[in-house]
A and B are shown apart, each in its own frame.
Chain A
């Protein structure tokens, strides 16, 4: 199989891409809740993947590679447009909480999983998906997101704690998640 840039991406590679699209779309939706924006991101990622197909090492997991491309594109897009266009639900919730005054850590206040997910930061939400649901190894997470393994480890534990705190109803607006388990 020729690996010359400029030669068409082979059928087998395209088939791999097609099979990976559902998981790629699911990942994109953890980054931007609007499904249309998520699909735009997926489209950008696929275009880049097709343009650089010759750089993909067939020994690797193609989904990890695609997630890395999509993450990179998302970060680029965010940097280009500032925070105006990407509506982060977590920010909206924080703003609402701030407006309501001091938070009430009401243990009886439970919210469901979907609501809790929305309130997490993008970084936490994507890690919970990649490590928890997609079962990426820490090394794969590190590679896809361009961060050190140590950061994956600490950030993921904070994400789990943050999610648990939201589900327990003990989360306070702007509060950091638990650093140390008692």
Chain B
């Protein structure tokens, strides 16, 4: 041992390292000797050891907690190309939005054919819009179209939380309340998309049943001329391949896609290009985009 090391006082860091058996044999021997000569330090180290044991005991029960289902599912079902596929989709969607118009439309149809077989929208019996329980995207979009038909004609109760209700100054508070409520219940971020550039103003929103323990959020927007569109958000199932789709059911057009952990759908009695502009605005305002 060199002289300077011998003369170095044993400080708290060394005592701590001694407790963790991180000192080399020579240093350890030196601290052993020190502790014999300095009972106060020896007492401190004993207390540190006791605190460590108490901490271990206090945190032990956490190891016995059952692992949440979503984490188990993630580990079991994760697929290697999830990240790359997401990147491809984003590029494809941006190409569609950038092109716009008729060219964009033909791109969209080409994308749709490359994806899974075309969905068949089937009219469910009226009065039972939520009878379908299919987890497939097609089933959900079907239900979105039906919800659109049910709620858009409502005059007095189109939504559950109406941001325009109440005194003028309360609108911001109502909006905040709406966003927090839906975000919490659906368990994905629900931004209140700003569609004013397309002439649409937020009316409000509601919660809709979808699958067991997985409700979906609906936002309703209204144009100056009275036209309404609805936007749906829900937590996407893991392992569901994301698709960008456009469908038409009678006079209701629908866009739907999955980004990250959220499934989005937009429904409106509008022409394809008008709906596309809205979908573009929504897509740009998604949260959690990387």
Binding site for B on A (CB under 8 A): 5-9, 14, 17-18, 21-23, 25-26, 29, 39, 42-43, 46-47, 50-51, 113-114, 117, 128-129, 131-133, 137-138, 153-154, 156-158, 160-161, 163-164, 167, 178-182
Contacts and interface: CB of A to CB of B under 8 A. Distances in A.
* Interface of chain A: mostly helix, strand, loop or mixed: helix
Interface stretch (B69-77, B133-141, B220-228): B69-77
A181 B42 CA distance: 10
Contacts of A43: 70-71, 74
B75 A17 contact: yes
Given A6-B84, A22-B67, A39-B68, A50 B62 contact: no
B83 interface: yes
Contacts of A47: 74, 78
Contacts of B51: 113, 160, 163-164, 167
Given A8-B80, A138-B20, A164-B51, A25 B13 contact: no
Interface string B185-209: 0000000000000000000000000
Given A29-B62, A113-B55, A133-B52, A157 B15 contact: yes
Central interface residue in B9, B13, B52, B70, by most chain A CB within 10 Å: B13
Interface of B: 9-13, 15-17, 20, 22, 40-41, 44, 47-48, 51-52, 54-56, 58-59, 62-65, 67-68, 70-72, 74-76, 78-84
Contacts of A18: 67, 72, 75-76
A178 B11 CA distance: 10
B12 A178 contact: yes
B161 to A, nearest CB: 23
A133 B78 contact: no
Given A26-B59, A50-B75, A153 B17 contact: yes
A160 B48 contact: yes
